[in-house]
Amino acid sequence: MDHDIIISGGGIAGLTATAAFASAGFDVLCVDPAPPVTTRDAQGADLRSTAFLQPARQLLMDVGLWDRLETHAAPLQIMRIIDAGGEEPLARTSKEFNAADISDLPFGWNLPNWLLRREMAAHLEGLPNVTYRTGVRAKTLFTRTAEARVGFSDGTRAKSRLVIAADGRGSPMREAAGITVKTTRYGQKALAFSVTHEMPHENVSTEIHRTGGPFTLVPLPDFDGKPSSAIVWMEEGPKAKALAEMDAAQFEDAMNIRSCGVLGHLTLNSARTIWPIISQHAERLGGERLALVAEAAHVIPPIGAQGLNMSLNDLKALRDLAVARPEGLGDAAMLDAYHKARINDIKLRVAGITMLNRTSMLSARPLRDARAAGLNALYSFAPLRKSIMQMGLGARG
């Protein structure tokens, strides 16, 4: 056997999976079509950020990644939700959910994606049981009961006991296995960029809800001595496209109106990238000798810091099964157990985030008013508020 595990995809989930299984003693090959873009101003840099919630941080600690990441992370102590659904973009309802109500730790820690890929790739270089190949993608998959054979875009092949598809929403490995997906499209896109601002964020992550989708400001470490945040701005597709094509001055005017002034004047300090918004989940999380993780398994809108944290829950469940019975790595019993361990939680969270996104998109005035009233009601009932916060951290409820 060439390797114990082949991982298709070298994004954040794929690199984390590689570190996780290597730290458990497995021989791992990770392949990705492109080298990681590891500077914020380089062409193709992923300008989104990732908030690692408490359970995700624990996994990163367990697999040896957190020590490299901690000094770059901005803690998320408070999650603030603002409804700005009146006739003008003004905050009319604002509620804060403080991690101190349920924990001694912050809700999570935020890092820019380009930096994550830089640090994770550097970590893999020091692991003797990892082969990390870029410029090559997994193209074909042939499986037998005892092994999988993967063909790569450069004409080479490799065998393994388990293939992990971490290769995105259009996963070639999932398609090669014939696993179907259920997809919901919203007609939205998301703009991702970073800013500096006048007022300190004080470790508060803010979602501002208004027709079209939320405008989310997530704390980053200071940039050039100024407070900084990552922003994801969800809008109806044509509006998002128009925003992406504005010159910088016009765009700054638009984003300062949309931000409702919660952090004072915002100044754009990065390029803008644009992403389609969908919800999607695979009907099964595995096939013969194949496990789906991250966006190959599920895609949700960027609300509530759930996306990558769901992905890391996938990795933890899969790794725990592999460690508990290493002789059964990749067999039918392991993959059936993985599906059963994750599928209900995935469906629940996809449905919940879909509902939140549709609620955020409401445009009719009575429905906008109902959204604001619902936020008030949720916040006012303390047991429900705490339950929502616990679920946000990954607890089942």
Does 397 score more than 70 pLDDT? no
Question: 342 Cβ partners below 8 Å, 6+ apart?
Answer: 285, 297, 313, 314, 317
What is the share, in percent, of the chain residues with pLDDT greater than 70? 87
- Read off the pLDDT of each residue in 311-320 and give the average, rounded to a whole number: 95
> Confidence band (pLDDT; 50, 70, 90) for 356?
confident
> Confidence band (pLDDT; 50, 70, 90) for 366?
low
What is the structure's pLDDT at 380? 52
Grouping H, G, I as helix, E, B as strand and the rest as coil, residue 388 is helix
Question: 256 Cβ partners below 8 Å, 6+ apart?
Answer: 265, 266
Q: Which two tokens stand for residue 396?
A: 């089942």
Phi, psi of 167 (to 5 degrees): -110, 30
Q: Do residues 138 and 30 touch, judged by C-beta distance below 8 A?
A: no
> Confidence band (pLDDT; 50, 70, 90) for 72?
very high
- Read off the pLDDT of each residue in 307-329 and give the average, rounded to a whole number: 94
The pLDDT tens digits of the residues spanning 139-191 come to 999 999 999 999 999 999 999 999 999 999 999 999 999 999 999 898 899 99
What is the structure's pLDDT at 335? 98
What is the structure's pLDDT at 305? 64
The lowest-confidence range among 131-135, 281-285, 352-356, 358-362 is 358-362
- Read off the pLDDT of each residue in 28-53 and give the average, rounded to a whole number: 87
CA distance 130 to 20: 11
What is the structure's pLDDT at 381? 42
Q: Which residue has the higher pLDDT, 165 or 76?
A: 165
Average pLDDT, the chain: 88
> Confidence band (pLDDT; 50, 70, 90) for 384?
very low
- Read off the pLDDT of each residue in 91-113 and give the average, rounded to a whole number: 85
Does 91 score more than 80 pLDDT? no
What is the structure's pLDDT at 373? 53
Does 267 score more than 60 pLDDT? yes
Enter the DSSP assignment of 17. H
Does 46 score more than 90 pLDDT? no
Dihedral of CA atoms 93, 97, 98, 99 in degrees, nearest 10, equals -160
CA distance 77 to 108: 7
Name which of 5, 3, 2 is nearest 321 in CA terms.
5
The lowest-confidence range among 127-136, 139-148, 383-392 is 383-392
What is the structure's pLDDT at 211? 79
CA distance 251 to 246: 6
Does 297 score more than 50 pLDDT? yes
Does 364 score more than 70 pLDDT? no
What is the structure's pLDDT at 190? 93
Interior CA angle at 367 toward 88 and 235, to 5°?
55
pTM of the model: 0.87
Q: Which two tokens stand for residue 4?
A: 């114990």
Which element (helix H / strand E) includes 269?
none
What is the structure's pLDDT at 189? 94
Does 266 score more than 90 pLDDT? yes
Question: 327 Cβ partners below 8 Å, 6+ apart?
Answer: none
Helical segments of the chain, H only: 12-23, 54-62, 66-69, 113-125, 172-176, 237-245, 248-258, 307-324, 332-360, 365-380, 382-392
Q: Torsion-angle region of residue 187: left (phi > 0), alpha (psi -120 to 50) or beta?
A: left
> Confidence band (pLDDT; 50, 70, 90) for 363?
low
> Confidence band (pLDDT; 50, 70, 90) for 101?
confident
Does 290 score more than 60 pLDDT? yes
Does 391 score more than 60 pLDDT? no
Grouping H, G, I as helix, E, B as strand and the rest as coil, residue 164 is strand
Token pair 């490799």 is found at: 158
> Confidence band (pLDDT; 50, 70, 90) for 393?
low
Name which of 268, 296, 321, 336 is nearest 175 in CA terms.
296
What is the structure's pLDDT at 389? 47
CA distance 72 to 6: 29
CA distance 25 to 21: 7
Dihedral of CA atoms 374, 376, 377, 382 in degrees, nearest 10, equals 140
Q: Which two tokens stand for residue 116?
A: 């994550």
Name which of 62, 68, 201 is nearest 122 in CA terms.
68
Task: Quote the distance between the C-alpha of residue 396 and its chain's center.
Answer: 19
Kindly list the structural domains of the chain, giving each domain's residue range(s) and its CATH number in brackets, ordered by start: 3-50+116-183+280-357 (3.50.50.60)
From residue 241, give the alpha-carbon distance in Å to each of 185, 189, 251.
16, 8, 12
> Confidence band (pLDDT; 50, 70, 90) for 4?
very high
